Amino acid sequence: MDAIAEPPPEEASTIADRVFGQLRQAIVEGGIAPGAKISEPEMAARLGISRGPLREAMRCLESTNLVERRPNLGARVITLSSEQLIEIYLIREALEGLAARLAAERMSAAGIADLKELLAQHRAEIVLECWQAYVQKEGDMDFHYRIVQGSGNQRLIGILCDDLYHLARMYRCKFGMVSDRARDALKEHELILDAIAERDGELAELMMRRHIRASRRNVERRLATDTTTQPRTDP
Amino acid sequence: MDAIAEPPPEEASTIADRVFGQLRQAIVEGGIAPGAKISEPEMAARLGISRGPLREAMRCLESTNLVERRPNLGARVITLSSEQLIEIYLIREALEGLAARLAAERMSAAGIADLKELLAQHRAEIVLECWQAYVQKEGDMDFHYRIVQGSGNQRLIGILCDDLYHLARMYRCKFGMVSDRARDALKEHELILDAIAERDGELAELMMRRHIRASRRNVERRLATDTTTQPRTDP
DNA sequence: TCCATTAAAAGTGTCGACACTTTAGCTAAA
DNA sequence: TTTAGCTAAAGTGTCGACACTTTTAATGGA
């Protein structure tokens, strides 16, 4: 198996940066299993680079909480627990609520129009019966991603888009999340966008928090009852 | 001048980790000026190490947003703007509000007792007329730090204690913040702690958000009127 | 057979050296 | 004098090699 993808079209000017992106993608999408040890000589050989840039990339992965490193013992991909997933939902509720409020105040009219188009497209997909794909595929994250971008708060964008969203995606790839909440989620997205379009920051924040809270409770319910959503423990 | 402190008592087992801590402290406390370029050969020589571990430490500093690195151009300490300071306050309001709510639900009785003692000590200091020191010295941050720790949310702790608090301290070292809000802040702290002690998460969150909002507005007011709090632009 | 000791192998941490890029300074022409 | 081009210096990015630590395997004794 070839767990690490080829250098993506947009080439980073330095090997360490490129490898960081490659490894992050491989980890998030499951190409490198959670808990797996990453041997520096082996990985460097597989990537055709030396250990120097690889170690720099590993440091970045450690800083973004995708690998855990212990001195003299090496690095392992983090393992996913349902507790950590809930932790992330709680943080997202707080931060994306803020993002929605700021987006309502500062997002450009063009950005809002784009989002309306995106939601229209999602609505069409749901009607076409392939609606399971809505939340499952990156449609949901795409919506959230754009609102965070629209907040204009660079540090907020960094925390959510550079760190938490990759983790959230990792969970989605690991647990086979097939959401039954697509219709509700789309409706909630529309309410959020309406509030943003009317520049009602207070309402946008309230709606976003309620939306993420509903997602979290949905996950909590599944975790409590459905054993198939437990993380697989690959040998 | 010797901008970089000696290895702190608690020795990290690897050079890169230790140097990361040293450089972070030097940057936060102003030993290395904002905007200053960090030359790898020069810094490595000053620290008596080679460039390998230094580069790893720089990568970590970049991940924590304390330095900005551009390929082939080197790394510079970030510059502080009042806009970014406000960004941080907004994020803290959201996240520490969450932390206060979780702390009210999960903090140990012993932890609450310790906090009460801390506030009593702060109250005594204020009465002793050296009350300017309260917010200025790390007393304020100490209180916030413990509440975040009390939340038990590991990822929340990481975001606030590993990243944002160092930035906040950097701002405090740079702008000569002599707060006139010590008495108000202490009162607010007491209200927050009361809510936590009564396990009233909703109220604790509300009070914490209000407290941080008040701090932000205080800063905004100063930034608007007082030119002495503008960041110094060292040559 | 089982456990302790020990030697070898693998792996991480660190260093010095080299290639390529960027910058600074200098020369020369307009 | 100014500016364009060129050259040398400095700096970053990358690599291979070595030292020390951890793990594995083997050997020996009980």
Nearest-by-CA chain B residue for A20:
B59
pLDDT band at residue A1 using 50, 70 and 90 as cut-offs: very low
Q: Which residue has the tokens 């009602």?
A: A200
Task: Find, among A98, A93, A202, the residue nearest to A156 by Cα.
Answer: A98
Most confident of A84-93, B163-172, B214-223: A84-93
Express each pLDDT in B41-95 by its tens digit. Answer: 999 999 999 999 999 999 999 999 999 999 999 999 999 899 999 999 999 999 9
Q: Check residue B180 and give its pLDDT.
A: 74
DSSP state of B13: S
Which tens digit of pLDDT belongs to each residue from A126-174? Answer: 777 654 555 556 778 899 999 999 999 999 999 999 999 999 999 888 8
Does the distance separating the beta carbons of B91 and A98 come in below 8 Å? yes
The pLDDT value given to residue B28 = 95
Interval B100-143: pLDDT, tens: 999 999 999 999 999 999 999 888 877 776 555 555 567 788 99
Separation CA B26–CA A11 (nearest Å): 34
Higher confidence at residue A173 or residue B36?
B36
Question: What pLDDT does B182 receive?
Answer: 81
Residue B208 has pLDDT above 60, yes or no: yes
Q: Which of B155, B162, B206 to mutate to test the interface with A (most CBs of A within 10 A)?
A: B155
Residue A105 pLDDT exceeds 60: yes
What's the CA–C1' distance between A15 and D5, in Å? 32
Q: Is the dihedral of CA B110, B114, B115, B116 positive or negative?
A: positive
Q: What is the mean pLDDT of residues A61-82?
A: 96
| D chain positions with any atom within 7 Å of a protein CB | 10-17, 21-23
Please count the other Cβ atoms lying within 10 Å of the Cβ belonging to residue B13.
Answer: 9
pLDDT interval class at B37 (50, 70, 90)? very high
pLDDT, averaged across chain A: 88
CA A182 → CA A81, A93, A118, A130, A217, distances in Å?
A: 24, 18, 15, 10, 14
**What confidence tier does A231 reach under pLDDT thresholds 50, 70, 90?**
very low
- With pLDDT > 90 as the criterion, what percentage of chain B qualifies? 72
pLDDT (tens digit per residue) in B157-172: 999 999 999 999 998 8
Give, to the nearest 10 degrees, the angle between helix A82-106 and helix A182-197.
30
Q: What is the pTM of this model?
A: 0.90
Find where tokens 């960081």 sit: A20
Using 50, 70 and 90 to split pLDDT, how confident is the model at A107? Answer: very high
Is A4 a residue whose pLDDT tops 90? no
Nearest CB neighbour to A87, from listed B55, B95, B154: B154
List of residues 6+ apart from B156 with CB closer than 8 A: A87, A90, A91, B95, B98, B99, B102, B148
**One-letter amino acid identity for A26?**
A
Within 8 A by CB and 6+ apart from B86, the residues are B216, B219, B220
Mean pLDDT, to the nearest integer, of B186-208? 97
CB contact under 8 A, B88 and A17: no
ipTM for the assembly:
0.89
Please tell me the predicted confidence (pLDDT) of residue B235.
34
Q: How many residues does chain A have?
A: 235
